[in-house]
Amino acid sequence: MDSDPWRSLLTFGGDASGYRRGENMTVNSYYDGLPYESGSKSKSLSEAFGAGWSGWFYPWSAPLGLTGSAGGNTAYNQNWGSSFRKEYGDSTRHEYRYETETWRYSYSVDAGVGVGYGRIRDVTTVFDIHVLEKRLQDEGVLSAPLSESTRKRLAELYFRRKTDFGFVHQRPDRFFWREVETILREDSALKSDALDGYSGYRIAEPIDGTRFSRQRGFFIGPVVSASHFNNIYNSTYKYHNVTYPDSGDVSDTLWSRYQHQVHQSDRVELGGSAEYHLPVGDRWQVDATANLSKPLNNLEESFIESTSLMAQYIIADRWQAIVRFQQNREIIESKSSDYRTRTDQWGVSLDGTLRYFVEDHLSLDLSVDHLQSKNRHYRRNNDYEDYYRNFNRQTYVSLGLTYLFAGAYMQSLGTPKSIPRDR
């Protein structure tokens, strides 16, 4: 149950997209007995940004810890569209023009605290030491396995390299590998007093397994969370109709409408969360999470649950495979003096990625994603009731390049305290 006393994860994300489309055509056929021509133009922009933090703190020697999280997301969407239609009659010409403009802004913030049993440890550094020892054994420079004290010293050195080692040296790699060789030379398992050039270069090669976080352990406990959501929607519609009769009396009609809507919601939830992480050998990493919560404010028979399972596998040098399954269910039922509503949403996704590292930080990714969702909504008051449901299934295939700016997805603060041989 040993672990680092403090772990934290900080994430940032952003996305921007847009499109422009135009169309003009003249139709030779007739519409209501009149030839016509029409055209349309549209463009759209979307931007999204998000940030989050989560942390785990273990103040006691017992496997009890505190957890906290906070995050925020914001999204913007703008759409512009226009169209026209011209109808030509024997004595009259009609022109119709439509213009639409919509702006949508939304943001959400959330925070949560909890307490739980169990400890999760970042064992990525421990994995690095196992790879280092295996490479030395393959090159025949070890006469026996490394001692436990040597593994511990190497793990502390590797961990310092990921945190503060580069701040005290210029060109820190040469100083780092010099200390690695010093620790190995002090171990009686090393056959000679120094590593040859080939062995030195071999152990310095990047380790593919550290490109994803290697965690081990479990954590389970109750969580209280609160969230706020705000959505602003603005829209403008314009309609312009002009009629040109042969008599010369032009008829001009202009109509417009502006709509502004603001929707806000606050929610407090009480529930529990659990996570389990297991590195299986040198090539596999399995991670699982589960969450179940119930909204406490103004909601009756409601609950929210989600589960996820991810497996990562190192196929060979520079090749990696990732499979991830996610499922969520949300039932929200509310009742007021005017109406009663019930919303049931369910979604599941399965995606797989085959990744080839072109070089240490650049990878070529082939991904296949499959998503399914089902939504049901019911609303009723004394005068009417409405009900709808829909089912959606989508499959995406993508091929792209990914650049990894940082070498680890999760960073833990502290020092590994034990390096068991079977891990």
Q: In this predicted structure, what is the pLDDT of residue 412?
A: 34
DSSP code per residue over 165-233: GGGS-SSHHHHHHHHHHHHHHTSTTBSSSS--HHHHHHHTSPPGGGGS--EEEEEEEEEEEEEEEEEEE
Per-residue pLDDT of the chain (423 residues; tens, 9 = 90+): 345 688 788 888 888 888 888 877 666 555 555 677 888 899 999 999 999 998 888 888 888 999 999 999 999 999 999 998 888 777 778 888 999 999 999 999 999 999 999 988 888 888 888 888 888 888 888 888 888 888 888 888 887 776 666 555 566 677 777 888 888 888 877 777 767 777 777 777 766 544 677 888 999 999 999 999 999 999 999 999 888 887 777 888 889 999 999 988 888 999 999 999 999 887 889 999 999 998 887 666 688 899 999 999 888 777 889 999 999 998 888 776 677 788 889 999 999 999 888 877 788 999 999 999 999 888 877 677 788 889 999 999 999 888 776 544 333 333 333 333 333
Q: How many CB atoms lie within 10 A of CB 169?
A: 11
> What is the predicted pLDDT for the residue at 157?
83
* Torsions phi, psi for 129 (to 5 deg): -70, -40
- Secondary structure (DSSP) of 239-274: EEEEEEETTS--EEEEEEEEEEEEEEEEEEEEEEEE
What does the pLDDT read at residue 164? Answer: 62
Structure tokens at 115: 């307490």
Give the pLDDT confidence score for residue 421 in this predicted structure: 35
pLDDT of residue 167: 58
Residue type, 49: F
Can you give the pLDDT at residue 32? 54
pTM: 0.70
Contact between 415 and 3 under an 8 Å Cβ cutoff? The reply is no
Structure-block tokens of residue 291: 């969450």
Predicted confidence at residue 275, as pLDDT, reads 93
* Alpha-carbon distances of 419 from 150, 171, 209, rounded to whole Å: 10, 29, 18
Give pairs for 131-139: CB < 8 Å, separation 24+: 131/207, 131/209, 131/282, 132/180, 132/203, 134/282, 135/202, 135/203, 136/184, 136/199, 136/203, 139/198, 139/199, 139/202
Q: What residues contact residue 230 under an 8 Å CB cut-off, 6+ apart?
A: 106, 107, 108, 262, 263, 264
Note the pLDDT of residue 415.
36
